[in-house]
Amino acid sequence: MPEDTNPVNPAPEPPAPPPPREPAEPAGGCPGCPLGAAPDATETPEPAGEPVAPAAPAEPAPAAPPRERKPRPGWLASAHCGKMSRLEMFAAPAERGFECGRKVIVRTDRGTELATVVFGPRQADFAALPRDPYPILRAASAADLAHQQRIETELEPAEFEDAQQTIAAQRLAMKLVEVEHLFGGEKLVFYFMADGRVDFRALVREMARKHRARIDFRQIGVRDEARLLAEYEHCGRPLCCRQFLRGLEPVTMRMAKLQKATLDPAKISGRCGRLMCCLRYEDETYAYLRGKLPGRGAYVLTEDTAGQVLAEDVMAQKVTVGTADGRRVVVPVKAIKQVSDKPLAPPERKLVIPEPPPPRPAPPPAAAAAPAPSPGAGPRRRPDAPGPAQPPAGPRPPGAGRSPQPPRPEGPGAPQQPGQGQGQGRGRRRAGRRRRGGRPGPGPGPSRGPGPGARPGAGPP
């Protein structure tokens, strides 16, 4: 049979040989890219011994210029809002009309509230604040204050009583503390206390159905309860948590011990029953001053003595040192020269001899004294000078030369002058001795003096 020259399915032709392989491009992309990959295995390696030039590092992209922040000047005021007395910053529309103590209407993340300004508007840059301040809508009018009064006297007590009944009906283990009805009426906040977690989802649905508002139940502790209900502290001032504190930080017993405060719980506990927040105010200062004193039990050396620290006074910066001979010396911290954990030898006492005082200067020579007049010599006078007036000759009238005396009362009931009776008695005794002739001598018998006719100086016959 002749061979078929026009077959229907001709035999396939052999495949064409592959084209010659070109060198592979670097893995980095386009030719000449500095971030090329290592050469392919089919490439001829460079001869050994020749150094390979390192790839040039990629230049970092230029940093974008910092975005210039435009200042946003405005008036910034601080105010308390809500029953928890939250201290927030608000943007005031103007400088005047929002002074300290003014009631204002503000808008916060909770809704429209009534706030009290505690720090008047001051100039500030809103762009430098961590967040934009809440706006002050307007100053509270008389109608706004009357509306707030109605909320506090009518709405909140009714809502509190309704919540109490609903909690009792659902048998929830929680204690309702306070209810807060916002000024705008868009939200009700209920504060309660409980020992653990409480599932109050059914309670929230029931309260939202009754009041047609957003319901928020917040669980609080004893410190927040005092912040809500209490007003004044032991010192007579309003509670710090209600006045200016923005957060309640922990207070430890170490702070009370460091400040040498009494450890009586009734005196260092606040209205909440916990340690008072004011113990934290000066803790940083006390810690700084305490770090400058040697620890109790350390050995110190001063210029005068050496011993062991027994006590310290943080505020006065003094320590009480017990010496080896049993004495207790109060030493200021500035006088301490060395502090050690081992006993130190006392300093050597040097005998100090005080210097004699400087000699006193001799007194100046006195002027020559005038000769003293001879005894009996009277003042010299001129011969022609008239002499002193002489009293007239003759007997002197009784009482002459004496100053006039006031008349003395007489009679048995008349008062006596001091020493009057005593002087009269002495006068009578002198008169009696004169009649007897003299004063009695020391001998056994009375001795009489010489008679009226005896010569002076004559002895006994």
Give the single-character DSSP code of 89: E
Residues facing 107 on adjacent strands: 112
Cα distance between residue 230 and residue 172, in whole Å: 26
Q: Are strands 187-193 and 328-332 parallel, antiparallel or unpaired?
A: unpaired
CA distances from 375 to 378, 379, 380 (A): 8, 11, 13
The residue type found at 396 is: R
Quick count: other Cβ atoms within 10 Å of Cβ 241? 23
Placement of tokens 């060395």 in the chain = 338
**What is the number of alpha carbons within 13 Å of residue 217 lying toward its C-beta?**
22
Calpha distance 93→133 (Å, rounded):
12
**What average pLDDT score do residues 143-160 get?**
93
> Residue 440 is encoded by which pair of tokens?
């009695």
Q: Which residues, 6 or more positions from 139, have their beta carbon under 8 angstroms from its beta carbon?
A: 97, 98, 102, 103, 104, 105
Q: Which residues contact 288 (CB under 8 A, 6 or more apart)?
A: none
What is the reported pLDDT for 83? 86
Residue 321, amino acid: V
Encoded tokens for 165: 């009944």
The residue whose two tokens read 């209920």 is 190
Average pLDDT over the chain, rounded to whole?
Answer: 75
DSSP string, 247-289: S-----HHHHHHTT----HHHHB-TTSSB-GGGGTTHHHHHHH
Long-range contacts of 161-169 (CB under 8 A, 24+ apart): 162/207, 162/210, 163/190, 163/207, 166/203, 166/206, 166/207, 167/203
- Range of weakest confidence among 46-55, 199-208, 334-343, 363-372: 46-55
Instruction: Assign 10 a pLDDT band (cuts: 50, 70, 90).
Output: very low
Query: Is the CB of residue 96 less than 8 Å from the CB of residue 120?
Result: no
Question: For residue range 185-207, what is the model confidence (pLDDT) as tens digits?
Answer: 999 999 999 888 888 899 999 99
Largest CA distance in the chain: 229
- Over 80: is that where the pLDDT of 453 sits? no
Residue 234: both structure tokens together = 């032991």
| Amino acid letter for position 296 | R
| Mean of pLDDT values over 3-29 | 50
pLDDT at 54: 61
Q: Is pLDDT above 60 for 383?
A: no
What CA–CA distances, in Å, run from 69 to 62, 89, 124? 21, 21, 15
pLDDT at position 206, please?
Answer: 92
Enumerate the β-bridge partners of residue 93: none
Strand order in the sheet with 175-181: 175-181, 187-193, 214-219
At position 16, the amino acid (one-letter code) is A
Question: Are residues 223 and 151 in contact, defined by beta-carbon separation less than 8 angstroms?
Answer: no
Model-level pTM?
Answer: 0.50
